[in-house]
Structure 1
Amino acid sequence: MDKGSFMKRFLLPLLFFLAVPAYGQNEQSPALDQLNKSIEQKDTFDQVKLKRIAELESRLKDIAIPVEKYVVCAALYNEYKSFNYDKAFHFSQELQQIGHRLKDQVKIADGKIKFGFILLSSGMFKETFDSLNTVKVKILPDSIKKEYYFLLARTYYDLADFDKDKYYAPIYNKRASVYIDSAIALSKAGSYDKIYNTGLKLLKMGRNEESSVLLKQLIRSQRLTDHQLAVTASTLSDIYIQNGQNNEAISLLIRAAIADIHESTKEAAAMLNLAQLLHKKGDIKNAYVFINQAMNDAGYYGARQRKMQVSAILMVIAGEKINSVEEQRRILFIYASLLTLLVALIILFVFIIYRQLKKLKKADKLILSANHSLQETIHKLNEADKIKEEYIGYYFNLISEYITKLDKFKRSVNNKLVTKRFEDIEMLVNNINLKKEREELFLNFDKAFLTLFPDFIKEFNALFPPEHQLKLHADQLLNTDLRIFALVRLGITDTEKIACILEYSMNTIYNYKARIKSKSLIPNDDFEEAILAIGSI
C-alpha cells in the first residue's frame, strides 16, 4: 500500500471522527448566542440603572418636604425592589415612616404593601402576612388596592408551590384565587394586569389551554415593558414544562432572561429555570454558564432563600460539568494515542497534547477537590443550624471566583507553554499576591460574619470591664482578637485549625486566648461557652 492510499484510508476517516464531536459541542442556537451576548453587556445595563439610582439619591439629600421626599423614596424603592433586597427593604421602611410623619394612612398602607413584596421575595411568608394584615384596605384607592390583592394572591400561590402537598396547597390556591379575582376586578379592561392576572389564575386552576391563549396574546403585544415580557414569558414557560414541551419552554425562558438583563432584574427565576432545563437536556456547558449567572444575581440581590435555591442546583450542575471535562480528557487521550501512528510532525503535535492533558488532569483534580470540599461544607452547613446556612451563598461565590482565577491561570500557562514563553510564566507566577488574596479573604469573612452576628462586638465587649474592652480603628471590621473568637463562635474550636486559617503559630493562638480570657469578667473555663451563647440575627 502506497503512502497516498494510506492517507486516504486511515487519516481522512480519523480526521472526520475527530471533527464530529467537536461540531456537536460547539453548535448553539441563535437565541442562546443572543443571551450570551446580553450577558457580556450586563454591566452596561446595570450602570444605566445605577446612574438613575444615583441621581434619585442625590435629589433625596436636598429634599426637606416630607411629601416630596415620599415621591423620591417611592421611585428609589421601585428601582431597588428587584435589584437589591437590603436597599428595597430600607426604602419600604422609609415610606412607612414618612407616612406616619404625615399621618397619611394611605401612604402608610402603601409602604406596608411594598414592604410585604420585599419580604415575600426573601421567602418570609409569615412576615409578609403580618405586614399585609395590618393594611386598612377600605381607605385605599383602586390602584393600590389592586396591588394589595395581587400581592396576597401571589403570596398564597407561592406558599402552595412551596408546600406542594395534597392538603394545604389546594387551600392556599383557593384563597389566592379569591384575592386575584379582586385584583382582576380592579384592573382596566384590556390592560396588561387584567390579562396577565386572568392567565395566571387559569394556570393555577389547571386550565392550561385557556391560560396559554391569554399569555400568548400578551407575548405578541408590542406594548410590553422588559419586565412585563420577562414575567409573562416565564409564566407561559411553566405551561410548556407541564406539557413536556421543553424546547418551547427554553425559547421563552431565553427571552425572559434577556429581558431581565436589559431591565437589570436580579430577583428573577428565568435564568435559574433555563439552566435546569438545559441541564436536563444535556447541555451542561450552557447550563453551567447560566446557573453561575443566576448565582451572581442571587448574591447581588441578597435574598437568602434565592441563594440557597440556586446553590443547591449549582452543586449538581458543577459536578456534572466536572464529569464532562473528565470524559473529554479521556477521549482526547485516545485521540492522542491514535495520532502517534502518524508522521513525525503529528507525533510532535501528540506530544504537546499529552503534556497539556497532564496539566489538565492536575487542574481537574484541584477542581474535583474544591468541589468535594464545597459539598462537605454545604452538607455540614445544612445539618448544623441557621448560622451555617447563611454561609452557603458566601462560600459558593468565593470558591467560584477562585475557580475562575485558576482556570484563567491554567489557560494562560498552557498558551505560554505552547509558545515556549517560559519567562512569561515565571512573571505570571511572581505576580500572584498571596498576601492581598488573604487580606481580601479576611475582609470578606469579617463582612459575612458581622452580617450574621451584628451585635458580636458589643456582646464580646460586655464580657470585659470597660478598661479592657476592645476598640477598633475606623477602617477595621474585626481585629485578630475578635477574629479568633469569631471562628470559635462558628464552631471552629481546634486551635491548630484557627492557627492555620489566620496564619499564626499554635503558641501564638494559645497566647492570644490566654491573654484575652485573663481580662474577662467570667472564669476562663466558661469563656468559650459565653462566646458560643452570643446570638445571631
Structure 2
Amino acid sequence: MTLRVSYLKFLKKILLVVWAALMCLPAFSQSNFENKLKQLNLSIEAKQTYDRSKLQRIAGLEQTLKLLLPADINGRYKVCTALYDEYKSFNYDKAFYYAQSMLSYGRRLKDPVKVANGKIKLGFVLLSSGMFKETFDSLNTVDVHILPDSIKQDYYFLNARTYYDLADFDADKYYTPLYNLRAGIYIDSAIALSTQTSYDYQYYLGLKYLKMGKRDQAAALLKKILHTYPLSNHQLAVTTSTLSDIYIQNNEIDEALQLLFQAAEADIKSSTKEAAAMLNLAKLLHTKGDIKNAYVFINQAMNDASYYGARQRKVQVSAILMVIAGEKVNSVEEQRRILFIYATLLTLLAAVVILFAFIIYRQLKKLKKADKIIIETNRSLQETIDQLNEAEKIKEEYIGYYFNLISESITKLEKFKRSVSNKLVTKKFDDIQMLVDNINLKKERDELFLNFDKAFLTLFPNFVEAFNALFEPEHQVKLSSDQLLNTDLRIFALIRLGIHDTEKIASILEYSMNTIYNYKARIKGKSILPNDDFELAILTIKAV
C-alpha cells in the first residue's frame, strides 16, 4: 500500500513537470518569434548599408573596366564577368547588359567556351525576370560538349531550375509533371558533375527529392547542409528558403516562419533583390492574421522586385499586396471605430463628471476650483479627439478620392449602357451612332490627367519645386495658370510612383515608346545631375 502511494506521488510530480513544460512552450515560441522579428527589422534598417557596400564594389569594378585598354579583350571579359556576378541578383538591366558584354567579348575572342558561358549567364538573368521562352532560346544555342565540367554543371542546373519554375508557374495537371520530369533529367546531370561532399551536390539532391515529393529525404539533406557546411549569405538564403517550402507543405507554419526569417535576413545582407523569401514570409504572416508585419514585409518585397526589375516577381507581389493592403485598411477602420467608441465613452464619462461637479458646486462652493480643473481636462480631451478625427479624415480622403473617381466612371458607363440598350430595343441605330459620337475621349483623357495631377500633388505638394531644383533657371519648367503638371512632369511623376517601365508610361500617357525615350533623354540632358543620378534624385522627393 505504501509503495502504491509513493508511486502515485511520483507519477503526479511527473505530470506536473510535463504540464509546466507544455505551458512554457507557447511562451518560448512567441519569444523566439519576437526576437527573430526584431532581428529582421534591424536588418531592414541596415539595408542601405549592405547595398552601399555592394555598390562600392561595383563602382571599383566599373572603374577598372574604364581603365582597361579597348584591345585588352580578355581583361574586359573577366571584369564584365565579375560585374555580372555582382548584378545578377541585384539589378536586371545591368546584369543583362554585362551578360551581353560577355557574349560580345567572347565572340571577338572567337572563344566558343566564353560565348557559351555568356549565354548561360544571360539565361539566368532572363529566368530571374520570369522570361521563360527567352531563357530557353538562350540555353538551346549552347554547345554543351565543348564546356568544362564546372560550366556544364551550371548549364544543367539552370535548365533544371527553368523547368522547375515553369512547372510551378503553370500549375497544370498535364504540363507540370512533364516539366518536372525534364527538370529531373537535367538536375541528375548536374549532380553527376558535382563532388559528393560539396554544397552543390547536397543542395541539388535535396531539391530533386523535394520536387519528387520525397519531403523527408529532402528535409534531411537540407538540414545537413545547414548544420555542417560553412555557407555564404546567399547559400544560407537559398537553403533555408527551400527547406521552408517543405515545412509549408507539411503545414508546420511556425518552423517555416523561423526559416524564412533567416532567409530574408540573409538576402538583405547579400543585397539580393531577386528573392522570394520576403514574399513568402509576408504570405505566411498574413495567413496567421499578422496584417501589420505582413504589410511591412510585402512592401519590402515589392521594393526589391521593383529595384531588380523582375516582372514575374512584381506580378506575384502585387497580387498579395492588394489583399494585405485591403485588410490593413479594414484594420485601421476597425481601430477608428473602437477609438470612436472609447471617445464616446470618455465624453459620456466627462459629462457625468461635470454633472456631479455641478451638483457638488451647488452644494459646496469650496469645490469650484476643482470643477474648473475638470472642465479644462474635458476641453483638452476634446482637442485630442478632434486631432485624431482630422488624421482619420485625411486617410479617408486619400482612399475615398479614388473610390469616387472609379464610381463616377462606372456611373457614366452604366448610363451609356442603358442608353445603347434602349436604342437597340427601339432599333434607333442612328441615335446609337450619335451617342458614340458625343463621347469626347480627349476631354475624358484631359480630365483623367487633371485628376491624376491633383491626386499626385496632394501626396507630393513640393514635387514641381523639387523637380525644378534639378535644373538651371533657364531650363526649369514653367507652368501656365491653368496647368498643374505638364507632360515632362507627368513622366517623372509616374516614375516617382514606382512605374519605371517605359512601355507602361507610354501607354498611360498615350505616346509612343520612342517619344517617351526622347522626352526622358531631353529632360535628363538639361539637368545639372548626371543622367544615371537623375531618376534616383526624383525617387528621393518626399511625400507629405
Q: Same fold (TM over 0.5)?
A: yes
CA contact under 8 A between 1:339 and 1:346: conserved in structure 2? no
1:12 equivalent in structure 2? none
2:185 equivalent in structure 1? 178
Match of 1:51 among 18, 33, 56: 56
1:249 equivalent in structure 2? 256
CA contact under 8 A between 1:82 and 1:267: conserved in structure 2? yes
Match of 1:350 among 358, 376, 381: 381
Q: Pick closer, same or farther for the CA change 1:133–1:258 going to 2, 3 Å.
A: same
Length-normalised TM-score, structure 2: 0.68
1:35 equivalent in structure 2? 40
Partner of 1:83: helix, strand, or coil?
coil
Q: Pick closer, same or farther for the CA change 1:363–1:170 going to 2, 3 Å.
A: same
2:331 equivalent in structure 1? 324
Partner Cα separation in structure 2 for residue 27 and residue 332 of structure 1:
31
For residue 440 of structure 1, report the CA deviation from its aligned partner: 5.4
For residue 41 of structure 1, report the CA deviation from its aligned partner: 0.5
Partner Cα separation in structure 2 for residue 240 and residue 373 of structure 1:
44
Partner Cα separation in structure 1 for residue 297 and residue 212 of structure 2:
31
How many residue pairs were aligned? 400
Partner of 2:53: helix, strand, or coil?
helix
Partner Cα separation in structure 1 for residue 181 and residue 163 of structure 2:
9
Match of 2:247 among 213, 218, 240: 240
Partner Cα separation in structure 2 for residue 460 and residue 231 of structure 1:
39
Matches within 5 A, 1:40-439: 40-64=45-69, 65-221=72-228, 223-340=230-347, 341-342=349-350, 344=374, 347-348=378-379, 350-369=381-400, 372=403, 432=462, 435-436=465-466
Instruction: Give the AA of the match of 1:237.
Output: S
For residue 375 of structure 1, report the CA deviation from its aligned partner: 9.0
Q: Pick closer, same or farther for the CA change 1:214–1:457 going to 2, 3 Å.
A: closer
CA contact under 8 A between 2:503 and 2:513: conserved in structure 1? no
2:15 equivalent in structure 1? none
Q: Which runs of 5+ in 1 are unaligned?
A: 1-24, 380-397, 410-430, 462-470, 478-537
CA contact under 8 A between 1:116 and 1:129: conserved in structure 2? yes
Length-normalised TM-score, structure 1: 0.69
CA contact under 8 A between 1:315 and 1:375: conserved in structure 2? no
Instruction: Give the AA of the match of 1:269.
Output: A
Q: Pick closer, same or farther for the CA change 1:27–1:444 going to 2, 3 Å.
A: farther
Partner Cα separation in structure 2 for residue 374 and residue 307 of structure 1:
26
For residue 310 of structure 1, report the CA deviation from its aligned partner: 1.2
Partner Cα separation in structure 2 for residue 124 and residue 146 of structure 1:
22
Q: C-alpha deviations, 1:417-466, integer Å up to 9, x for none?
A: xxxxxxxxxxxxxx9465547575442448947455699476899xxxxx
CA contact under 8 A between 1:339 and 1:347: conserved in structure 2? no
Question: Percent of counterpart pairs with the same letter?
Answer: 57
Q: C-alpha deviations, 1:164-203, integer Å up to 9, x for none?
A: 1111100000110010011011111111100111000000
CA contact under 8 A between 2:464 and 2:489: conserved in structure 1? no
Q: C-alpha deviations, 1:34-90, integer Å up to 9, x for none?
A: 111110100000000000000000000111311111111000000000000000000
1:475 equivalent in structure 2? 525
CA contact under 8 A between 2:502 and 2:516: conserved in structure 1? no
Query: CA RMSD for the aligned pairs?
Result: 3.3
For residue 110 of structure 1, report the CA deviation from its aligned partner: 0.3
For residue 321 of structure 1, report the CA deviation from its aligned partner: 0.5
Deviates more, 1:275-284 or 1:442-451: 442-451
Partner Cα separation in structure 1 for residue 177 and residue 86 of structure 2:
34
Partner Cα separation in structure 1 for residue 191 and residue 406 of structure 2:
46
For residue 363 of structure 1, report the CA deviation from its aligned partner: 2.1
2:23 equivalent in structure 1? none
Partner Cα separation in structure 1 for residue 160 and residue 43 of structure 2:
33
Q: Pick closer, same or farther for the CA change 1:370–1:66 going to 2, 3 Å.
A: farther
CA contact under 8 A between 2:61 and 2:83: conserved in structure 1? yes
For residue 303 of structure 1, report the CA deviation from its aligned partner: 2.0
Instruction: Give the AA of the match of 1:62.
Output: L
Instruction: Give the AA of the match of 1:369.
Output: G
For residue 225 of structure 1, report the CA deviation from its aligned partner: 0.3
Instruction: Give the AA of the match of 2:79.
Output: V
Q: Pick closer, same or farther for the CA change 1:371–1:92 going to 2, 3 Å.
A: farther
Structure with larger Rg: 2
Q: Pick closer, same or farther for the CA change 1:231–1:433 going to 2, 3 Å.
A: closer
Deviates more, 1:343-352 or 1:130-139: 343-352
Instruction: Give the AA of the match of 1:475.
Output: G
For residue 213 of structure 1, report the CA deviation from its aligned partner: 0.6
CA contact under 8 A between 2:264 and 2:278: conserved in structure 1? yes
Q: Pick closer, same or farther for the CA change 1:102–1:239 going to 2, 3 Å.
A: same
Partner Cα separation in structure 2 for residue 228 and residue 75 of structure 1:
18
For residue 150 of structure 1, report the CA deviation from its aligned partner: 0.2
